């Protein structure tokens, strides 16, 4: 069956809340307004205000409350209206959610999901267009997930809710209306498992979240030149499925990593370093990274377009690793 990315998340959350009465949703405007992006549409009517909880505008406060609830045996899903606002809760996420299991010697777990939209949308300017996944990936104790398709979003959010660890679940804002096939019924996708979205033999394109669509578009353009690009979606950024990424890199010998985030200390740098350690002798040349511009996101539409990677940049990067420039 087909569903939008938004509908896939709605189905998954609804199914998990029906399956386990310990699961509850908390955040700004998740109940009466049904979520800023309507992911929680219909939840208040079905589950009531004890399990769909509207909060004041206090990310640090309601994230801390949810962490305490998780420690006490519940399974909260925290919606941040955008991941830019998660910055306000970083003390709770980094110093409590990520560390309590370690600091308690395994006596306490924090099975919490912190989810919401990330990356750029359309002209939301510098404070609301950030790709912050590298921040969270830097922290031991956090799992970080960034699905690109409705099918993956549904299966991965279910696995995230059932996981005993804190999971950061980032949904690119522009993906919410995107349609795709999703599996019927109750299915999960394991965290930490990448997927080859398009097989190829000449060059590997590694991309996640919204950039997967850019990589797939680039692969189509490359195919018109007779270049068969393999597109791999990590899906989970931490833990990273290095086995699948390395197998593709080993097969093609050429790698381009695409990310919307900033270049310095970005996810692409970590992926490249990991692949160099694993398959250096199989690579025909240096790994090339395609990233967002190293600057705050502009508001002007033409400048915003220039700051975000596009398919032509990925094609140019593929030409570079193929020594066609």
Question: Could you confirm whether 128 is annotated as catalytic?
Answer: yes
Question: Could you confirm whether 319 is annotated as catalytic?
Answer: no
Of 15, 16, 59, 79, the catalytic one is 59
Question: What string of H, E and C letters represents the secondary structure of the chain?
Answer: CEEEHHHHHHHHHHHHHHHCCCEEEEECCCCCCCCCCCCCCCHHHHHCCCCEEECCCCHHHHHHHHHHHHHCCCEEEEECCCCCHHHHHHHHHHHHHCCHHHHCCCCCCCCCEEEEEECCCCCCCHHHCCCCHHHHHCCCCCEEECCCCHHHHHHHHHHHHHCCCCEEEEEEHHHCCCEEECCCCCCCCCCCCCEEEECCCCEEEEECCHHHHHHHHHHHHHHCCCCCEEEEECCEEECCCHHHHHHHHHHHCCEEEECCCCCCCCHHHHHHHHHHHHHHHHCCCCCEEECCCCCCCCCCHHHHHHHCCCHHHHHHHHHHHCCCC
The residues annotated as belonging to the active site are: 59, 128
């Amino acid at each position: 069956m087909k569903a939008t990315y938004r509908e896939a998340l709605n189905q998954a959350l609804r199914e998990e809340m029906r399956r386990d009465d310990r699961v509850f949703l908390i955040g700004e405007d998740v109940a009466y307004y049904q979520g800023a992006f309507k992911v929680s549409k219909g939840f208040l009517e079905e589950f009531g205000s004890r399990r769909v909880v509207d909060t004041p505008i206090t990310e640090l406060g309601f994230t801390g409350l949810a962490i305490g609830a998780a420690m006490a045996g519940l399974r909260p899903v925290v919606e941040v209206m955008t991941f830019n606002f998660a910055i306000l809760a970083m003390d709770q996420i980094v110093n409590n959610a990520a560390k309590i299991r370690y600091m308690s010697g395994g006596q306490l777990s924090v099975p919490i999901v912190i989810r919401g939209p990330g990356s750029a949308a359309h002209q939301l300017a510098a404070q609301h267009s950030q790709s912050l996944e590298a921040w969270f990936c830097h922290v031991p104790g956090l799992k970080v997930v960034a699905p690109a398709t409705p099918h993956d979003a549904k299966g991965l959010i279910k696995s995230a809710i059932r996981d005993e660890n804190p999971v950061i679940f980032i949904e690119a804002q522009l993906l919410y209306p995107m349609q795709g096939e999703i599996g019927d019924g109750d299915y999960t996708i394991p965290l930490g498992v990448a997927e080859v979205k398009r097989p190829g033999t000449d060059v590997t394109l590694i991309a996640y979240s919204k950039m997967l669509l850019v990589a797939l578009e680039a692969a189509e353009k490359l195919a018109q030149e007779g270049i068969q690009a393999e597109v791999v979606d990590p899906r989970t950024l931490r833990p990273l499925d290095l086995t699948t990424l390395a197998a593709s890199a080993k097969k093609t010998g050429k790698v381009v990593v695409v990310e919307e985030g900033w270049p310095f200390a970005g996810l692409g740098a970590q992926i490249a370093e990991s692949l160099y350690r694993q398959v250096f002798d199989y690579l025909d040349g240096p790994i090339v990274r395609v990233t967002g511009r190293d600057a705050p996101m502009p508001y002007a539409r033409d400048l915003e377009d220039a700051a975000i990677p596009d398919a032509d940049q990925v094609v140019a990067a593929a030409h570079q690793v193929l020594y066609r420039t």
